[in-house]
Amino acid sequence: MQSVLERELVVVTGKGGVGKTTISAAIGLLAAQRGKRVIVVEVGDQTRLPELFGHPPGQAGAESRLQERLSSISIDPDRALLEWLQTLGGRVSGRLLASSGTFQYFAAAAPGAKEMVSMVKIWELTQSRRWQRRAAGYDLVVLDAPATGNALGMLGSPQTFGAIARVGPVAGQAEHVRDLLEAPERTAFVAVAMPTDMAVTEALELQDGLRAKLGRTLDTVIVNGLLPQRFSAAELRLIDRASTDAADGASARNAGSAKSGRGAATARSAIKPTRRDTATDSALRRSAALAAKTVHDRARFQHNQLARLRRRDFAVAGVPFVWGAGMDLPAVERVAEQLGRRL
Ligand SMILES: Nc1ncnc2c1ncn2[C@@H]1O[C@H](COP(=O)(O)OP(=O)(O)OP(=O)(O)O)[C@@H](O)[C@H]1O
Ligand SMILES: [Mg+2]
């Protein structure tokens, strides 16, 4: 199967706060490490990428170089509209181009204009011949798209515009964007989901939305923030006992003679209290066992959500929860390394 990194555009979306920006940055990094010239696109006044890579915040609408072969841009629809109109040359008056309210007129005339102009700019970034002749060319554009509903609105905007303007430059441009989005060999759709019931359900709804809007399906769902399943069955039996009455020194001593079987004997020897045991030790042991059990139960629930996705016809890639103070560049590098095994 063609890797998502081999396309012109990768659209990353999913529920709010599930890790779309983190995964977009990691995909960008991974593709750059594999020798591609990449740009990660932020929208909706988001400008997190330059800072994540240790640079000052980028200027809206301008391409910022993050590291070798990797850039980012936060799309400014106003600036993108002016750039686009300039390419139409003589057909648009200089006075119109100079007017700061150009976008407002355009937006008022056509709802969804902001989304359409953003999509046109994204299409432009995929082109080898850029609007500005000296601008860099990219092999891959990674779109850190808005959350599911808004992303579908944005991706469907060329269709809406195509229906309004059937001829002329706007119609032609809308068709170019649609061609890009509808071609599986050119555009990949990636959903990010945390391993929760709601986030997985939203990823499945996105699949339906994509089919209805663009006749496309998701290429990959990335399940982000997975906890590891650390314990063997035997360890779990021990934890189970330690988190209930057997962990308590007194009750373990009393209950000891009543228990039978190999599992119980192992559990008793592993947690057998010594003389020095105090009530505090027992309580601590029980709390630790309970914490281990809770983490295990959560990890098991998460893997059930993963199984829900694996029954579908898209690839599923897991990314572990990265422990630490926050998502910094080393953390994104770890996510990229993990994704590299699957993408
Ligand atoms: N694998 C991970 N392990 C630990 N923390 C993570 C992981 N992925 C993302 N995060 C953290 O989760 C939070 C949300 O991530 P991020 O900003 O990438 O999500 P988002 O989907 O882009 O959010 P929004 O919808 O607000 O744009 C951030 O604090 C990020 O550092
Ligand atoms: Mg984000």
Task: Tell me the pTM.
Answer: 0.86
Alpha-carbon torsion 146, 147, 153, 158, what sign? positive
- Report whether pLDDT(22) > 90: yes
Residue 261 confidence class, pLDDT cut points 50, 70, 90? very low
Is 199 a pocket residue for ligand 1 (Cβ < 6 Å)? no
**Which residue has tokens 């993108």?**
80
Residue 263 confidence class, pLDDT cut points 50, 70, 90? very low
pLDDT of res. 100: 59
Identity of the highest mean pLDDT range in 75-79, 245-249, 315-319: 315-319
Instruction: Please state the rounded mean pLDDT for residues 189-211.
Output: 95
Question: Which range is least confidently modeled, 2-16, 116-130, 150-164?
Answer: 150-164
pLDDT of res. 11: 98
Nearest to 231 by CA among 289, 296, 319: 296
Ligand of minimum distance to the alpha carbon of 25: 1
Start-end of CATH 3.40.50.300 domains in the chain:
4-227+321-340
Nearest to 69 by CA among 110, 31, 105: 31
- Ligand 2: centre distance to CA 293 (Å): 32
The string of pLDDT tens digits covering residues 51-98 is 999 999 888 899 999 999 999 999 998 888 888 888 876 556 656 655
**Closest Cα to atom 9, ligand 1: which residue?**
19
SS3 assignment, position 53: coil
**Which residue has tokens 């990265």?**
322
Is 329 a pocket residue for ligand 1 (Cβ < 6 Å)? no
| CATH superfamily, with its number, for domain 4-227+321-340 | P-loop containing nucleotide triphosphate hydrolases (3.40.50.300)
Residue 313 confidence class, pLDDT cut points 50, 70, 90? confident
Is 332 a pocket residue for ligand 1 (Cβ < 6 Å)? no
Q: How crowded is residue 336: how many other Cβ atoms within 10 Å of its Cβ? A: 22
Tell how far CA 274 is from the center of its chain. Answer: 50
- Report whether pLDDT(282) > 70: yes
Contact 130, 137 (CB under 8 A): yes
Which structure tokens are listed for 181? Answer: 């989005």
Instruction: Please state the rounded mean pLDDT for residues 237-257.
Output: 61
- Ligand 1: centre distance to CA 322 (Å): 10
Residue 234 confidence class, pLDDT cut points 50, 70, 90? very high
The string of pLDDT tens digits covering residues 101-114 is 666 666 666 778 88
* Averaged pLDDT of the chain: 86
The string of pLDDT tens digits covering residues 138-148 is 999 999 999 99
Residue 242 confidence class, pLDDT cut points 50, 70, 90? confident
Residue 260 confidence class, pLDDT cut points 50, 70, 90? very low
Instruction: Please state the rounded mean pLDDT for residues 156-185.
Output: 85
Ligand of minimum distance to the alpha carbon of 194: 1
- Ligand 2: centre distance to CA 21 (Å): 4
Cross-strand bridge partners of residue 13 = 191
Q: What percentage of the chain reaches a pLDDT higher than 90?
A: 60
Kindly give the number of the ligand 1 atom that is closest to the alpha carbon of 46: 27
